Structure 1
Amino acid sequence: MAIASLTLVAAGCAGASDTTAPTGATPAAHGSTAPGKERPSDAQASVPAAAAAAPEDSAGSEPAAAAEPGSRRCRAADLGMSLGRADAGAGQVYFRLTFENKSQASCTLRGFPGVSLIKRDGSVIGVPAEREGGMRDRMVIGPGRTAGVTLHTLNQGIEDSGCWDRPDYLKVYPPGSTEALTLRTPQLRICGDRFTTTATGG
């Protein structure tokens, strides 16, 4: 599975582009891979301010930890993000979404991110990803190190509900963050009304 690199901003099945810049916007509403090799993506862009709403309980994540070495929670401003290519099998499709610590100090991630698909005009496609599986142990991520989640959907035709429109952006609130990262990518197409994310892990 290849991974698309990215940059920070605000919000959203072949190659991927990237963008990273925190925004204080929030994920919202609905329309219409198991990990492998990663491949960096290319394009950068910014997302319209009107896009999406922040996850209710900070995406089911752990509150910021006490002041002990390496215990600071990773903020959106600390992170880069990339999306791997689809890994499909038996009607299931998985994408690996990876967070990279771009800061100069270790930080921690634990919990579920808030993930939404966004159109170029800032409107939300479908609904934010639901949680799949249980919480995992808190991860301390050193500078340049990564942690990730797995996004899950279905192949087209597996369910009668069809597929959502392709997004222009993937908008992600890291666990515990009220600021979002935005990745420019059209590759994450959701079908069968199945859109879930695991908690952060290695």
Structure 2
Amino acid sequence: MSFALVAAGCNDDGSASEGAASPAAHAGTTGPARTSPQPSDSASAPPATTPASPAAPSGSGASSRAGASAPGRCAAEGLGMSVKRGDGGAGQVYYELTFVNKSGHPCALNGFPGVSLIQRDGAVIGAPAERDGASHGAAVLAPGGTAHVVLHTLNQGIADGGCWKQGDYLRVYPPGSKEALTLRDPQIRVCGDRFTTTSVER
């Protein structure tokens, strides 16, 4: 009587190693079974073969995992924002509008925000900021991470059109969001009918 020994790998915690087959599977694959010789009908008969299983496409599992782990869009409720005046020159005025991820998970901002100066009663002053330049692509924000856009206007007297009324609030729709963030007394003055925003970038 003969016995077949089957080895099964284990991890340190006692669980079966990944990829290890069950004992029943190993019992039939450890080697050829010993059987009594059978007479052949023909010496020229070809040996029986088993078709090979098709190989899985290389990298398909990694691609699926990468797609599944991509962060979702940042929701307005998970963001904070601030604005400060940046460096300007030759009559140009720039403001840096910064978003911060206040949620506990990574998220992404991709494209242009909707930016408006509004009065206390909610009426829009002038017109929403126009898009300036091309999109910078997705900016992924870790928890506590930041991204920004640049708002552009002109100094008073540089161009015709005068200056708009000072806004009581700055209302901002993050890219892709139907919910807005509101910043009180943003200290932004738009002149020369120039009011633009870049896309979000890190």
TM-score bracket, normalised by the shorter chain, equals: 0.5 to 0.7
Match of 2:133 in 1: 133
- Of the two structures, which has the highest relative contact order with CA contacts closer than 8 Å and spacing of 6 or more? 1
C-alpha separation in 1, matches of 2:170 and 2:86: 15
Structure with more helix by fraction: 2
Question: Which position in structure 1 is the counterpart of 2:190?
Answer: 190
Unaligned runs of 5+ in 2: 1-65
- Segments of 5+ residues of structure 1 without an aligned counterpart are 1-65
TM-score of the superposed pair, with normalisation by structure 1: 0.65
In structure 1, the residue matched to 2:69 is 69
Q: Would the aligned equivalents of 1:70 and 1:105 in 2 still touch at CA under 8 Å?
A: no
Residue of structure 2 in register with 1:89 after alignment: 89
Which SS does the other structure have where 2:103 is aligned?
coil
TM-score, normalised on structure 2? 0.65
Shift of 1:69: 2.2
Distance of aligned partners of 1:79 and 1:157 in 2 relative to their CA distance in 1, 3 Å threshold: same
What's the CA shift string for 1:38-74, capped at 9, x where partnerless? Answer: xxxxxxxxxxxxxxxxxxxxxxxxxxxx963242100
Q: Specify the alignment match of 1:115 in structure 2.
A: 115
Q: For residues 93 and 190 of structure 2, what CA distance do their matches in structure 1 show?
A: 9
Aligned pair count? 137
Q: Which residue of 1 aligns with 2:170?
A: 170
The structure-2 alpha-carbon separation of the partners of 1:115 and 1:137, relative to structure 1 and needing over 3 Å to count, comes to same
Q: Distance in 1 between matches of 2:72 and 2:86?
A: 32
Match of 1:13 in 2: none
Residues 1:106 and 2:106 aligned together: yes
Q: Hey, which bits of structure 1, 4+ residues long, moved more than 6 A?
A: none
- Mapped partners of 2:163, 2:108: distance in 1: 35
Supply the distance in 1 between the matched residues of 2:80 and 2:124 (Cα, whole angstroms). 22
Shift of 1:121: 1.5
CA distance in 1, matches of 2:102, 2:125: 29
Deviations 1:125-169 (A, max 9, x none): 000000001011211100000000000000000012100000000
Aligned partner of residue 68 in structure 2, secondary structure:
coil
Shift of 1:85: 2.2
Q: Percent identity, aligned pairs only?
A: 64
Aligned residue for 1:108, secondary structure, equals strand
State the match for 1:124 in structure 2: 124
Larger Rg belongs to? 2
CA contact (8 A) 1:166 1:186 kept: no
The Cα RMSD (Å) is 1.4
